Amino acid sequence: MQNANHARISSHRTIQTRSVAIPLPILFREIANVTLRIKFNRFGFIDSAASWKIGFLLLPLIFAVCVGCVPQREGSVVLYSAADREYATPILDAYDRNTPGTEIARQFDVESSKTLGLVTRIEQEKTRPRCDVFWNNEIIHTIRLQKQGLLASRRWNVPDAWPKSFRAQDGTWIGYAARARVLLINKDKLPDSSTWPTSVLELADKKWHHRCGLAYPIYGTTATHMAVLRSYADDIRCESESMREFANERGSLDWSRWSGGVVEHAVVLAGNKQVALAVSSGELDWGLTDTDDAAVEKESGKPVEIVFPDQATGAFGTLFIPNTICVLKGAPHPTAAASLADYLTSEKVESRLTMGNSAQFPVWPGAKQPSRLQGDKAIRWAEVDFERVALQWTESMEQIKTKFDKR
């Protein structure tokens, strides 16, 4: 009988003070019973015996409320990471070592679905979030989560001079440690640098028919890049002779016609890494990829060179896509989530990403450590309002999928 009673009581939520555990339903019932039997003395005050009983019963409830107001140590924090495991793991391990009592439960994305798999999971869990912090290796899907109201607004420990395009106005996310979208050239296939492509737009040029490539533009940074070009088509000028066939009557990029040219002339591979490998092996003359994948091939001694595209006067500039960090609204471990989010966006962590194999580009104003891929020349970053791109995302993806799935 004692065991049965114990099992029955344990099924209730309890308030515990030292060694005494009082189930909440029983506590409220006893308070109600005492309240119904309250007697008043001749002066109109509650009888002292009744007031003593009420005070005794309310004490654990008051204690629980007061304790609940004090931040408690949380033993774990759940991170969903679209950042590559090989780059993220050393950084996360360092946090675990330096934060005794808190361990990061890590969920990485699946290569085949890129960031989209984790975003879909967050959307599916919105009524009962399991993720505390989302480390995204791009920005558009983070903004889409923001627009759905799934992110918590917070104050980030970053300087006021932080680039406006890399921070949410409502404080729900922050962008840092950017990758550039670059052209990787095989120098054995194209030994004369004067013949190298200099613009992303050349993916549609018939002279490169099946000699250039890009990743399937429905996932990852290539999807973001294609969506940016579509959103900013009116601001992109088609100045060169070979690109004029893709210009509209105003001389700006006709995105539909240009993307059709890409479908016809460029080789589409599974991902940015596959593009970089195809170029370094000589399968392609050149390709569009990210700096982290390009750096691996160049620094492993392959005959390749990195070109930062669209640097000519009046050109669009090179697109830089930041990592983004956000805390989920209703995160199960809010205190630990805040600590991890501040750690990941710290100047120290960004410096590690800059100096590491991914050679990312710092966003921190006045950063002491530039990316080693920077070189001696200044690189002009494309000026992009990513929120504008995110608002057109669904329409952009429908058009891109329609074109590229016809191949």
The per-residue pLDDT for 15 is 33
Q: Do residues 338 and 133 touch, judged by C-beta distance below 8 A?
A: no
Fold matches, 76-178+321-383 and 179-319+399-404: yes
Name the CATH topology of 179-319+399-404. Answer: D-Maltodextrin-Binding Protein; domain 2 (3.40.190)
The per-residue pLDDT for 48 is 52
Domain 76-178+321-383 has what CATH class?
alpha beta
Specify the pTM: 0.81
What is the rounded CA–CA span in Å between residue 149 and residue 152? 8
What is the rounded CA–CA span in Å between residue 215 and residue 266? 10
Q: Do residues 204 and 246 touch, judged by C-beta distance below 8 A?
A: yes
Burial of 379 (C-beta count, 10 Å sphere; 0-12/13-18/19+): middle
The per-residue pLDDT for 61 is 47
Query: Whats the size of the chain, residue-wise?
Result: 407
The per-residue pLDDT for 377 is 85
- Alpha-carbon separation of residue 331 from 76, 199, 311, 337, 360 (angstroms): 12, 43, 42, 8, 29
The per-residue pLDDT for 113 is 52
User: Taking the domains of the chain in order of start, what are their residue ranges?
Assistant: 2-68, 76-178+321-383, 179-319+399-404
What is the rounded CA–CA span in Å between residue 3 and residue 290? 62
What is the rounded CA–CA span in Å between residue 124 and residue 135? 18
The per-residue pLDDT for 218 is 92
The per-residue pLDDT for 373 is 94
The per-residue pLDDT for 53 is 52
pLDDT digits (tens, 9 = 90+) for 278-288: 999 999 999 99
**Under-70 pLDDT residues of the chain:** 1-73, 111-115, 407
Burial of 367 (C-beta count, 10 Å sphere; 0-12/13-18/19+): middle
What is the rounded CA–CA span in Å between residue 177 and residue 323? 6
pLDDT digits (tens, 9 = 90+) for 22-81: 455 554 555 545 444 555 455 454 555 555 555 455 555 444 444 444 444 578 999 999
What is the rounded CA–CA span in Å between residue 219 and residue 271? 8
What is the rounded CA–CA span in Å between residue 354 and residue 369? 7
What is the rounded CA–CA span in Å between residue 334 and residue 207? 55
- 3 state SS for 163-218: CHHHECCCCCEEEEEEEEEEEEEECCCCCCHHHCCCCHHHHHCHHHCCCEEEECCC
Instruction: Specify the DSSP element, H or E, that contains 15.
Output: strand 14-17
